């Protein structure tokens, strides 16, 4: 499983959102780190083919995503957005069930593995006992975990998380973090976009720093997260002599 | 109608609701059909209705020919058309609410209702509505489709794909068309003409003949099952667009298909019976309060509830002030709105908001 991005640009209405990005993603958990509005989310959407690039290409297992059919792609890669969805009245089970949509036939009939897959993913995220609760009664953190359950139900090799911990408190951030580590052990390939340096440090193997639509630094976590890189990536105004404590 | 593996995949209580609710509403509908056949300005009794319904098996020659004519040529087409239109409007409304992720969406939002109204109003004011039974429905159908086409084209201009631009174009086109209706109304000189226009705008089945059924039934009967089959896609469309796309759904294509289907069903409904407010927006909500938000349940059950609702509304409209009639459009809002408020209050007690 490999993702290669070649000379990728995205510039709707001649505004450069992403500018000529090339990178290879291989093993481990990968994080895109950068300021708000740096183009992380756009990059995630381009990888999962939610939007089409202006130039360049995304290759998954050396196949251009442009040439992969929507249904096939949805069995290969899933994207957990940060959108709030108006899904009041559905139960936890029903919401997780929606992840099984790619495995339905034309008339909406599920394949044989579906029920097992839904129940399994709810067990993995520890929401199985609450499967009949309405999603209205979930907290923000539980809702995020339920979104992950839906992605798990989809049974893809690659899972993209867009700002998985935005709006979450420390406890729920830890729950999400532990869950993502668990998914990694289950053999999922994970891409995360975040602006949260601490979260990135605690979870990633490899870090790409993105600033104003350009890739400015990429390396394994230990080498990437240096004081200089972070100051550069986030445009921090630091007075000389100020000490920054990392982690 | 029902996905075959729904039982195993859904949690039990909702499936239970389905197998409980469908027979209850269907039996209620059958009882109402017999009552509707037997009541009206011309007094007939149940045995006449049964003899008509089972005339294939029972000798019906004993029925008074006038009563038989009333039952077979006036009441029967009315009943069939109210069932068809009720389910068509309810299903259109339910699907549009899902597709636009907007609980306030109703079939009128596509501009169909006002377009059809303009077609009808122009034909009535030109004085040619009486020349053939087909003229009024055909022109209001064309008017409805034409308005919908303009809304489609306008919404394509905007780059916003989430459906908001569609709703706003629909509002603008409706407002423009309503001004034309007002213009025709205020400039109308003859009282009879004004009366005919206002009567059409209020909506109802008092002019229904078999010809209307022949016009509307084929379209509604062909299109309704498509909504039942693809109802799960409406669930996915009601998620955020990014979520729907990552689940492999072609969001733009499917949204367009549902819009076209809903437009056709609404146009044909409005063409044969005028504008019936309430049904398209309230029936799906009532259904959701009963069975929850899953469109695999909401779409078929709102079809049933919509059909029974219009049938009973029409029964009341034509029997409450015998021998005269109230317009059905007035009745539907008059009964429907308080019932909806009652359900909302009842539901409030069941929900724990957090």
pLDDT at A86 over 80: no
Say if residue A225 is exposed, middle or buried (CB neighbours under 10 Å; 0-12, 13-18, 19+). buried
| pLDDT tens, residue by residue, B260-306 | 899 899 989 988 988 887 788 889 988 988 888 889 889 999 999 99
* pLDDT, position A239: 66
Report the residue from A81, A114, A131 with minimal CB separation from B243.
A81
* pLDDT, position B258: 92
Peptide bond into B323 cis (omega under 30): yes
CA nearest A45 in B: which residue?
A: B242
* pLDDT, position B10: 46
Q: Chain A residues within 8 A (CB-CB) of chain B? A: 45, 48-50, 70-71, 73-75, 77-79, 81, 83-91, 93-94, 97-99, 101-102, 104, 107-110, 114-115, 118, 131-132, 136-137, 139, 154
- Higher-confidence residue of A243 and A139: namely A139
Q: Compute the average pLDDT of residues B215-238.
A: 93
Interface with chain B: mutation pick from A46, A87, A101, A136, highest number of B CBs within 10 Å: A101
CB-based burial, A29-55: b 16+ in 10 Å, e otherwise: bbbbbbeeebbbbbbbbbbbbbeebee
CA nearest A90 in B: which residue?
A: B293
Q: Is B43 left (phi over 0), alpha (psi -120 to 50) or beta?
A: beta
- Using alpha carbons only, what angle is made at residue B286 by residues B284 and B291, rounded to the nearest 5 degrees? 90
- What is the sign of the dihedral through the CA atoms of A130, A131, A137 and A139? positive
Q: Chain B residues within 8 A (CB-CB) of chain A? A: 3-5, 8-11, 13, 101, 229-233, 235-236, 238-240, 242-243, 245-250, 288, 292-294, 296, 351-354
Helix (H, G, I), strand (E, B) or coil at A190: strand
Is residue A191 a contact partner of residue A43, using CB atoms and an 8 Å limit? no
Q: Compute the average pLDDT of residues B96-103.
A: 86
Q: Compute the average pLDDT of residues A224-232.
A: 84
| pLDDT tens, residue by residue, A160-217 | 999 998 888 999 999 999 999 999 999 899 999 998 888 998 999 999 999 988 998 8
* pLDDT, position A183: 93
* pLDDT, position B60: 66
As beta bridge partners, residue A219 has A207
pLDDT at A131 over 50: yes
Contact B246 A79 (CB under 8 A): yes
- pLDDT, averaged across chain B: 84
Domain ranges of chain B: 6-349
Residues 6+ apart with CB under 8 A from B14: B291, B292, B294, B297
Say if residue A109 is exposed, middle or buried (CB neighbours under 10 Å; 0-12, 13-18, 19+). middle
**Architecture (CATH level 2) of domain B6-349:** Orthogonal Bundle (1.10)
| pLDDT tens, residue by residue, A45-85 | 999 999 999 999 999 988 999 999 988 999 999 999 888 78
Distance CA B257, CA B251 (A): 10
* pLDDT, position B80: 95
- Which residue is associated with the tokens 């609760």? A133
Contact A73 B247 (CB under 8 A): no
Contact B236 A101 (CB under 8 A): yes
Domain A28-35+69-234 sits in CATH 3.40.50.300: yes
* pLDDT, position B94: 94
Minimal C-alpha gap between A119 and chain B (Å)? 10
Is residue A62 a contact partner of residue A25, using CB atoms and an 8 Å limit? no
CA nearest A116 in B: which residue?
A: B9
Interface with chain B: mutation pick from A15, A45, A70, highest number of B CBs within 10 Å: A70
CB pairs under 8 A between A and B: 93
pLDDT at A145 over 80: yes
* pLDDT, position B180: 93
CB-based burial, B155-189: b 16+ in 10 Å, e otherwise: beeeeeeebebbbbbbeebbeebeeebeebeeebe
Parallel, antiparallel or unpaired: strands A206-211 and A18-25: unpaired
pLDDT at B3 over 70: no
Other beta carbons less than 10 A from residue A221's beta carbon = 17
The first and second tokens of residue B222, run together, are 């062909």
CA nearest A12 in B: which residue?
A: B159
CA nearest A158 in B: which residue?
A: B246
Q: How far is CA B165 from the centre of its chain?
A: 24
Q: Compute the average pLDDT of residues B115-132.
A: 86
Global pTM reads 0.88
Write the CA distances from B100 to B6, B18, B166, B266, integer angstroms. Answer: 25, 25, 9, 16
ipTM over 0.95: no
Distance CA B112, CA B170 (A): 9
Report the residue from A73, A90, A101 with minimal CB separation from B294.
A90
pLDDT at B11 over 70: no
* pLDDT, position A236: 81
CA nearest B7 in A: which residue?
A: A115
Report the residue from B232, B243, B353 with minimal CB separation from A108.
B232
* pLDDT, position B324: 82
Contact A74 B248 (CB under 8 A): yes
Report DSSP letters for A41-74, one per residue: HHHHHHHTTSS--SEEEEEETTEEGGGS-HHHHT
Band (pLDDT 50/70/90 cuts) for residue A233 is confident
Q: Compute the average pLDDT of residues A219-244.
A: 79
């Amino acid at each position: 499983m490999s993702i290669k991005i070649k000379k990728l640009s995205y510039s709707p209405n001649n505004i450069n959102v992403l500018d000529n990005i090339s990178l290879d993603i291989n093993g481990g958990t990968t994080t895109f780190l950068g300021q708000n509005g740096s183009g992380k989310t756009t990059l995630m959407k381009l990888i999962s083919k939610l939007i089409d690039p202006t130039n360049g290409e995304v290759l998954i297992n050396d196949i251009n995503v442009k040439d992969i059919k929507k249904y096939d792609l949805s069995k290969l890669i899933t994207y957990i957005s940060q959108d709030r969805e108006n899904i009041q009245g559905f139960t936890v089970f029903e919401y997780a069930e929606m992840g099984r949509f790619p495995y339905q036939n034309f008339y909406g009939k599920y394949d044989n593995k579906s029920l097992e897959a839904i129940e399994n993913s709810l067990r993995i995220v520890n929401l199985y006992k609450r499967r009949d609760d309405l999603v209205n009664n979930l907290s923000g953190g539980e809702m995020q975990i339920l979104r992950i359950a839906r992605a798990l139900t989809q049974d893809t090799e690659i899972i993209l998380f867009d700002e998985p911990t935005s709006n979450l408190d420390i406890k729920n951030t830890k729950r999400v973090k532990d869950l993502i580590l668990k998914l990694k052990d289950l053999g999922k390939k994970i891409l995360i976009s975040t602006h949260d340096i601490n979260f990135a440090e605690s979870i990633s193997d490899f870090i790409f720093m993105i600033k104003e639509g350009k890739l400015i630094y990429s390396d394994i976590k230990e080498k990437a997260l240096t004081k200089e890189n972070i100051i550069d990536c986030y445009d921090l105004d630091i007075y000389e002599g100020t000490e920054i404590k990392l982690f | 109608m029902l996905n075959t593996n729904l039982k195993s995949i859904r949690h039990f209580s909702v499936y239970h609701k389905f197998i409980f609710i469908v027979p209850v509403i269907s039996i209620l509908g059958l009882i109402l059909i017999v009552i509707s056949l037997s009541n009206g300005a011309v007094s007939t009794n149940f045995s006449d209705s049964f003899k008509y319904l089972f005339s294939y098996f029972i000798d019906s020659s004993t029925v008074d020919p006038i009563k038989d004519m009333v039952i077979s040529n006036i009441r029967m087409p009315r009943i069939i058309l109210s069932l068809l239109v009720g389910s068509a409007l309810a299903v259109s409304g339910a699907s549009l609410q899902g597709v636009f992720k907007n609980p306030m969406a109703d079939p009128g939002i596509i501009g169909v209702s006002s377009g059809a109204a303009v077609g009808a109003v122009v034909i009535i004011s030109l004085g040619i509505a009486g020349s053939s039974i087909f003229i009024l429905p055909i022109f209001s159908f064309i008017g409805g489709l034409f308005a919908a086409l303009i809304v489609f084209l306008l919404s394509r201009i905007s780059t916003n794909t989430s459906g908001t631009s569609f709703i706003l174009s629909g509002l603008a086109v409706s407002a423009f068309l309503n001004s034309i209706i007002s213009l025709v109304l205020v400039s109308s000189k003859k009282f009879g003409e004004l009366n005919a226009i206002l009567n059409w705008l209020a909506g109802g089945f008092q002019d229904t003949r078999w010809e209307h059924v022949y016009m509307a039934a084929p379209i509604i009967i062909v299109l309704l099952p498509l909504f039942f089959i693809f109802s799960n896609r409406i669930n996915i469309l009601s998620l955020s667009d990014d979520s729907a796309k990552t689940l492999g759904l072609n969001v733009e294509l499917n949204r367009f298909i549902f819009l076209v289907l809903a437009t056709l069903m609404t146009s044909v409904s409005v063409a044969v019976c005028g504008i019936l407010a309430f049904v398209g927006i309230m029936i799906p909500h009532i259904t959701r309060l009963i069975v929850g938000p899953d469109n695999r349940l909401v779409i078929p059950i709102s079809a049933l509830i919509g059909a029974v609702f219009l049938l009973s509304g029409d029964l009341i409209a034509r029997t409450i002030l015998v021998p005269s009639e109230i317009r059905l459009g007035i009745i539907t809002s008059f009964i429907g709105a308080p019932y909806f408020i009652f359900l909302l209050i009842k539901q409030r007690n069941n929900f724990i908001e957090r």
